[in-house]
Amino acid sequence: MGYFLGLIVVLGALWLGLSGIYEPLILTLSVISLLVVLLLAYRLDTVDKEGSPYARTPQLFAYWAWLVVEIFKANWPVIKACVSADLDINPALVKVKTRCESDLAKTIFANSITLTPGTVTVEVEGDKLLVHALFEEDATPDSFAEMDERSWRAADGRQAQASKQVRT
């Protein structure tokens, strides 16, 4: 029910923020369209933890703040390699095992790797990601461990642990 209420609040706020029109007819039509969308979302069974991750918003913002810092730190070696006279790169492909369980967490992790300069997620298969990196010495599976842990905590985190404890 919390995901459903979160979806109502976010869709309503998004509509009001983007339209900027507060006339009675338009507001009535917006409520009707919001109800139709909510009915469809309910019927399609898409209102869940991944479809409405609003309860995880503080953890996701904390993760994004950390990721922005990591992106800026990763820019420096790539800039140095591009500007230097000799192209000092040693590309490599590496398989990285992830702790992430949900599709949302895996997507966040894979996109975070791709956003970081010098690395690209090529393939996601089960709990393994194939990553292309410009520098082989920085492309060990351990070098992605902190990002994996943080993306898991941001998307799955305590909720996944709580659901496991309930099942046992």
pLDDT at 12: 87
Confidence of residue 49 (pLDDT cuts 50, 70, 90): low
Token pair, residue 146, equals 């902190």
**pTM of the predicted protein model:** 0.70
Residue type (1 letter), 107? T
User: Which residue in 103, 108, 3, 105 sits closest to 48, CA to CA?
Assistant: 3
SS3 92: strand
pLDDT at 53: 66
Q: Please state, in angstroms and rounded to a whole number, the distance separating the CA atoms of residues 115 and 49.
A: 24
pLDDT digits (tens, 9 = 90+) for 72-121: 998 988 888 888 878 778 899 999 999 998 888 899 999 999 999 989 99
pLDDT digits (tens, 9 = 90+) for 14-25: 888 888 888 999
Token pair, residue 78, equals 């790539």
- Under a CB-based contact definition with an 8 Å cutoff, are residues 121 and 131 in contact? yes
Confidence of residue 8 (pLDDT cuts 50, 70, 90): confident
pLDDT at 20: 85
User: Which residue in 148, 146, 76, 70 sits closest to 109, CA to CA?
Assistant: 148
